[in-house]
């Protein structure tokens, strides 16, 4: 096992950054770490368990970074777009910032109008994770850990959370997110929130990208992007990506763009995952990826709220500069008993596996 690297950009972030407490808590280390295999590399930081870059060649051998992000740590502290982060304890929105579990009502932190989004004001994307292990070699990986205390952002029960990023094969990135409920039943629904642009993070919009999503149904939402509790077919609607379709083909028929949960059709295969989606760059790079996961849904989001965000290398990210495919349990499942349950009981584990297979 390789030792954790001492990097010139190692940063010390006091716990006071995250708390108004005046107690003399020990400082925690925040740094950037690289996984590399040949000309394929992935960089992450233990702030928010964020993927900060994914570099791979195009069809001509030219290297490019295909995820949106920032230069340095500073902009990630706020990171309202959640670039590259692991979001939780419950990803997506919870209606009214409340739910009832085992007869008890829980009120959560409100950070999206009257609702909770991605775990609240201080969700898992805005905390320091501990680096448990960093291993180089043929298949390098890093494992990050976070302990979420009972009552954090209003959620019941203490929770131990682990995320492992691994280059599991040439040009393949695997992500394993797991959590254990320690003392109370609690909802858990983690999501990896990277914004992808296979032409390169500063190459413009993703409207020409070809997308195929293996899902014949969606969970429609209200004006606040909260699921209304029904499951409806995509046939005959702008949401139909069962066949490869450019993102921009029907986006003008929607208000703002895509931001919806798809109900996945494919069965779980021998690898413990189902095929979720295929994305191909439409602007000549030849890059593409397949996404596999073990979750029942995927949020397809087209960067509708990006507005002149200053990104890496001075690039300015505008609307639709990247797309997200966030595998997940169904949003607001705590308030819709007909949706698959995301409740994890004490002593039980939550497991969420993803695999990106890159092609060029």
Residues carrying an active site annotation: 193, 326
32-62 per-residue burial string, b: 16 or more CB within 10 A, e: under 16? bbbbebeebbbbbbbbbbbbbbbbbbbeeee
Helix (H, G, I), strand (E, B) or coil at 15: helix
Q: How far apart are CA 252 and CA 248, in angstroms?
A: 7
Q: How far apart are CA 279 and CA 203, in angstroms?
A: 16
Vertex 357 angle, CA 353 and 360, to 5°: 165
**Helix, strand, coil % over all residues of the chain, rounded to 5:** 10, 40, 50
Are the beta carbons of 331 and 276 closer than 8 angstroms?
no
| Residue that has been written with the tokens 């501990």 in this structure | 130
DSSP letters, 309-330, are: EE-GGG-EE-TTS-BEEEEESP
Q: How far apart are CA 205 and CA 105, in angstroms?
A: 43
Helix (H, G, I), strand (E, B) or coil at 25: coil
End-to-end CA distance of the chain, in Å?
A: 31
Encoded tokens for 135: 């291993």
| Residue that has been written with the tokens 């949003």 in this structure | 331
Output the CA torsion sign for 196, 197, 201, 205: negative
């Amino acid at each position: 096992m390789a030792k954790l690297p001492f990097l010139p950009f190692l940063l010390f972030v006091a716990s006071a950054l995250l708390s108004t407490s005046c107690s003399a808590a020990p400082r925690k280390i925040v740094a950037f770490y690289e996984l590399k295999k040949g000309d394929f590399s992935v960089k992450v930081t233990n702030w928010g368990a964020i993927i900060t870059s994914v570099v791979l060649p195009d069809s001509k051998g030219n290297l490019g970074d295909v995820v949106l992000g920032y230069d340095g740590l500073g902009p990630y502290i706020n990171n309202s777009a959640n670039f590259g982060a692991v979001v939780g304890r419950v990803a997506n929105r919870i209606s009214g910032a409340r739910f009832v579990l085992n007869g008890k009502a829980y009120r959560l932190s409100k950070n999206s109008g009257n609702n909770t989004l991605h775990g609240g004001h201080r969700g898992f994307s805005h905390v320091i994770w501990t680096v448990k292990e960093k291993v180089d070699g043929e298949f390098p990986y890093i494992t990050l850990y976070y302990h979420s205390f009972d009552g954090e952002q209003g959620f019941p029960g203490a929770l131990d959370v682990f995320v492992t990023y691994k280059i599991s094969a040439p040009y393949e990135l695997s992500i394993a997110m797991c959590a254990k409920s320690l003392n109370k039943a609690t909802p858990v629904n983690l999501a990896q929130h990277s914004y992808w642009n296979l032409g390169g993070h500063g190459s413009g919009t993703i409207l020409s990208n070809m997308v195929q999503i293996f899902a014949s149904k969606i969970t429609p939402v209200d004006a606040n992007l909260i699921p209304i509790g029904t499951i409806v077919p995509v046939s005959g609607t702008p949401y139909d990506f069962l066949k490869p379709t450019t993102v921009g083909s029907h986006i003008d028929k929607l208000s703002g763009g895509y931001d919806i949960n798809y109900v996945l059709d494919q069965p779980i295969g021998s690898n413990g995952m189902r095929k979720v989606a295929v994305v191909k760059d439409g602007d000549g790079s030849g890059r593409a990826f397949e996404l596999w996961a073990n979750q029942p849904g995927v949020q397809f989001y087209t960067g509708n709220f990006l507005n002149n965000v200053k990104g890496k290398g001075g690039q300015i990210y505008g609307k639709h500069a990247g797309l997200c495919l966030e595998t997940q349990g169904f949003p607001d499942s705590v308030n819709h008993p007909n949706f698959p349950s995301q409740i994890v009981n004490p002593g039980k584990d939550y497991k969420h596996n993803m695999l990106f297979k890159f092609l060029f």
